[in-house]
Protein backbone atom coordinates (compact mmCIF):
# COMPACT_ATOMS: atom_id res chain seq x y z
CA UNK A 1 0.00 0.00 0.00
CA UNK A 2 1.47 3.47 -0.87
CA UNK A 3 1.21 6.85 1.36
CA UNK A 4 2.55 9.87 3.45
CA UNK A 5 2.21 11.37 7.06
CA UNK A 6 4.26 12.82 9.99
CA UNK A 7 5.26 12.24 13.55
CA UNK A 8 7.79 9.85 15.23
CA UNK A 9 11.48 10.20 15.95
CA UNK A 10 12.78 6.95 17.47
CA UNK A 11 16.26 6.62 18.98
CA UNK A 12 18.34 4.25 16.89
CA UNK A 13 21.79 2.67 17.06
CA UNK A 14 22.66 0.79 13.90
CA UNK A 15 24.87 -2.15 13.09
CA UNK A 16 25.61 -2.71 9.42
CA UNK A 17 25.87 -6.26 8.13
CA UNK A 18 26.63 -6.80 4.45
CA UNK A 19 24.71 -9.70 2.89
CA UNK A 20 24.99 -10.12 -0.91
CA UNK A 21 23.37 -7.02 -2.43
CA UNK A 22 21.33 -6.33 0.69
CA UNK A 23 22.40 -4.97 4.05
CA UNK A 24 20.92 -4.96 7.53
CA UNK A 25 20.80 -1.96 9.82
CA UNK A 26 19.99 -2.97 13.39
CA UNK A 27 20.74 -2.03 16.98
CA UNK A 28 24.34 -2.44 18.05
CA UNK A 29 23.35 -5.03 20.66
CA UNK A 30 20.57 -7.57 21.09
CA UNK A 31 17.56 -6.07 22.80
CA UNK A 32 15.90 -7.68 25.81
CA UNK A 33 12.36 -7.18 24.52
CA UNK A 34 9.99 -10.12 24.87
CA UNK A 35 9.44 -12.18 21.69
CA UNK A 36 11.81 -10.04 19.65
CA UNK A 37 12.39 -12.38 16.70
CA UNK A 38 14.57 -9.81 14.97
CA UNK A 39 17.18 -9.89 17.74
CA UNK A 40 18.46 -13.00 15.96
CA UNK A 41 21.11 -12.03 13.43
CA UNK A 42 20.67 -15.45 11.82
CA UNK A 43 16.97 -14.77 11.19
CA UNK A 44 17.83 -11.42 9.58
CA UNK A 45 20.67 -12.83 7.52
CA UNK A 46 18.45 -15.59 6.12
CA UNK A 47 15.78 -13.02 5.26
CA UNK A 48 18.21 -10.66 3.55
CA UNK A 49 19.95 -13.42 1.60
CA UNK A 50 16.59 -14.47 0.19
CA UNK A 51 15.50 -10.89 -0.51
CA UNK A 52 18.82 -10.29 -2.28
CA UNK A 53 18.09 -13.23 -4.60
CA UNK A 54 14.56 -12.00 -5.40
CA UNK A 55 15.77 -8.47 -6.10
CA UNK A 56 19.02 -9.35 -7.85
CA UNK A 57 21.23 -6.31 -8.40
CA UNK A 58 19.25 -4.10 -6.00
CA UNK A 59 20.55 -2.31 -2.91
CA UNK A 60 18.11 -2.92 -0.06
CA UNK A 61 18.60 -1.89 3.54
CA UNK A 62 16.70 -3.36 6.47
CA UNK A 63 16.30 -1.53 9.77
CA UNK A 64 14.86 -2.86 13.03
CA UNK A 65 12.47 -0.01 13.61
CA UNK A 66 11.24 1.02 17.08
CA UNK A 67 8.85 3.87 17.96
CA UNK A 68 10.85 4.78 21.07
CA UNK A 69 9.60 8.35 21.24
CA UNK A 70 5.96 8.99 20.40
CA UNK A 71 3.86 12.11 20.18
CA UNK A 72 0.41 11.55 21.66
CA UNK A 73 -1.33 12.28 18.34
CA UNK A 74 0.63 9.52 16.58
CA UNK A 75 -0.71 6.60 18.63
CA UNK A 76 -4.09 5.24 17.56
CA UNK A 77 -6.68 3.68 19.81
CA UNK A 78 -5.41 0.18 20.57
CA UNK A 79 -1.79 1.36 20.58
CA UNK A 80 -1.44 1.12 16.82
CA UNK A 81 0.85 3.44 14.89
CA UNK A 82 -0.12 4.84 11.48
CA UNK A 83 2.03 3.06 8.91
CA UNK A 84 2.50 6.40 7.19
CA UNK A 85 4.15 7.82 10.32
CA UNK A 86 6.66 4.96 10.25
CA UNK A 87 7.38 5.67 6.58
CA UNK A 88 7.96 9.35 7.36
CA UNK A 89 10.51 8.42 9.98
CA UNK A 90 12.26 5.86 7.77
CA UNK A 91 12.46 8.39 4.95
CA UNK A 92 14.62 10.61 7.20
CA UNK A 93 17.30 7.93 7.47
CA UNK A 94 20.27 8.62 5.13
CA UNK A 95 20.97 5.74 2.72
CA UNK A 96 23.03 5.48 -0.49
CA UNK A 97 21.44 6.75 -3.70
CA UNK A 98 19.19 4.15 -5.31
CA UNK A 99 18.79 2.14 -2.10
CA UNK A 100 15.41 0.91 -0.83
CA UNK A 101 14.93 0.92 2.94
CA UNK A 102 12.69 -1.62 4.69
CA UNK A 103 11.73 -1.13 8.33
CA UNK A 104 10.65 -4.15 10.38
CA UNK A 105 8.77 -3.54 13.62
CA UNK A 106 6.88 -5.39 16.33
CA UNK A 107 4.38 -2.53 16.56
CA UNK A 108 0.89 -3.00 15.11
CA UNK A 109 0.28 -0.71 12.12
CA UNK A 110 -2.91 1.12 11.18
CA UNK A 111 -4.10 2.54 7.86
CA UNK A 112 -7.12 4.77 7.09
CA UNK A 113 -10.20 2.65 6.41
CA UNK A 114 -8.60 -0.61 7.59
CA UNK A 115 -8.37 -2.36 10.96
CA UNK A 116 -4.65 -2.96 10.39
CA UNK A 117 -2.05 -3.51 7.68
CA UNK A 118 0.84 -5.94 7.50
CA UNK A 119 2.90 -3.21 5.88
CA UNK A 120 3.01 -0.21 3.58
CA UNK A 121 5.37 1.29 1.02
CA UNK A 122 6.16 4.67 -0.47
CA UNK A 123 7.49 4.34 -4.02
CA UNK A 124 8.59 7.97 -4.35
CA UNK A 125 10.65 7.97 -1.15
CA UNK A 126 11.80 4.34 -1.64
CA UNK A 127 10.89 3.18 1.85
CA UNK A 128 8.66 0.42 3.19
CA UNK A 129 7.66 -0.94 6.59
CA UNK A 130 6.25 -4.29 7.74
CA UNK A 131 4.98 -5.35 11.16
CA UNK A 132 5.48 -8.70 12.88
CA UNK A 133 2.51 -8.04 15.17
CA UNK A 134 -0.10 -9.76 12.97
CA UNK A 135 2.32 -11.99 11.08
CA UNK A 136 2.96 -14.00 14.24
CA UNK A 137 -0.70 -15.00 14.39
CA UNK A 138 -1.24 -17.57 17.13
CA UNK A 139 2.47 -17.98 17.85
CA UNK A 140 3.59 -19.69 14.60
CA UNK A 141 6.86 -21.57 14.55
CA UNK A 142 9.95 -19.72 13.34
CA UNK A 143 9.85 -21.31 9.89
CA UNK A 144 6.27 -20.13 9.29
CA UNK A 145 7.02 -16.65 10.64
CA UNK A 146 10.06 -16.45 8.36
CA UNK A 147 7.94 -17.35 5.31
CA UNK A 148 5.36 -14.70 6.21
CA UNK A 149 7.98 -12.02 6.79
CA UNK A 150 9.71 -12.83 3.49
CA UNK A 151 6.44 -12.74 1.54
CA UNK A 152 5.41 -9.41 3.05
CA UNK A 153 8.90 -7.94 2.63
CA UNK A 154 8.90 -8.92 -1.05
CA UNK A 155 5.42 -7.46 -1.51
CA UNK A 156 6.19 -4.07 0.04
CA UNK A 157 9.61 -3.80 -1.61
CA UNK A 158 7.89 -4.59 -4.90
CA UNK A 159 5.74 -1.50 -4.37
CA UNK A 160 8.89 0.62 -3.94
CA UNK A 161 9.85 -0.44 -7.47
CA UNK A 162 6.45 0.62 -8.82
CA UNK A 163 4.81 -2.83 -8.89
CA UNK A 164 1.06 -2.82 -8.35
CA UNK A 165 -1.20 -5.51 -6.92
CA UNK A 166 -1.71 -8.72 -8.87
CA UNK A 167 -4.89 -10.76 -9.43
CA UNK A 168 -2.88 -14.00 -9.40
CA UNK A 169 -2.87 -15.37 -5.81
CA UNK A 170 0.39 -17.19 -6.56
CA UNK A 171 2.20 -13.88 -7.15
CA UNK A 172 4.04 -12.04 -4.35
CA UNK A 173 2.17 -8.87 -5.35
CA UNK A 174 -1.27 -10.36 -4.66
CA UNK A 175 -2.99 -8.45 -1.82
CA UNK A 176 -3.57 -10.39 1.42
CA UNK A 177 -5.84 -9.11 4.18
CA UNK A 178 -5.29 -11.98 6.62
CA UNK A 179 -2.51 -14.37 7.61
CA UNK A 180 -4.58 -17.19 6.13
CA UNK A 181 -4.53 -15.49 2.72
CA UNK A 182 -0.84 -14.69 3.16
CA UNK A 183 0.00 -18.33 3.90
CA UNK A 184 -1.49 -19.54 0.60
CA UNK A 185 -0.07 -16.64 -1.42
CA UNK A 186 3.03 -17.37 -3.47
CA UNK A 187 6.41 -15.91 -2.56
CA UNK A 188 7.71 -15.36 -6.10
CA UNK A 189 6.65 -12.75 -8.66
CA UNK A 190 4.48 -13.77 -11.60
CA UNK A 191 6.01 -13.50 -15.09
CA UNK A 192 4.43 -10.09 -15.68
CA UNK A 193 5.70 -8.59 -12.43
CA UNK A 194 9.09 -10.26 -12.87
CA UNK A 195 9.39 -8.43 -16.21
CA UNK A 196 8.30 -5.15 -14.59
CA UNK A 197 10.80 -5.58 -11.76
CA UNK A 198 13.68 -6.30 -14.13
CA UNK A 199 12.78 -3.20 -16.13
CA UNK A 200 12.62 -1.10 -12.93
CA UNK A 201 16.00 -2.43 -11.76
CA UNK A 202 17.63 -1.65 -15.12
CA UNK A 203 16.30 1.90 -15.05
CA UNK A 204 16.74 2.59 -11.34
Residue 124's contacts (CB-CB under 8 Å, 6 or more residues apart) are none
Rounded Cα–Cα distance for residues 90 and 105 (Å): 12
CB 64 within 8 A of CB 38: yes
Instruction: Please identify every residue annotated as catalytic.
Output: 156
Give the whole-angstrom CA distance, residue 22 versus residue 51: 8
The span from the CA of 197 to the CA of 174, in Å, is 15
Amino acid sequence: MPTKHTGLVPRRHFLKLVVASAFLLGRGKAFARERDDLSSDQFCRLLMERVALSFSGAQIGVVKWYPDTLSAHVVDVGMQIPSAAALDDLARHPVPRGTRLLGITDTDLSYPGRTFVFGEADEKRRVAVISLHRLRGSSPNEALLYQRVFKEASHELGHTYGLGHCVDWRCAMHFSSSVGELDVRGSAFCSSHTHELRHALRND
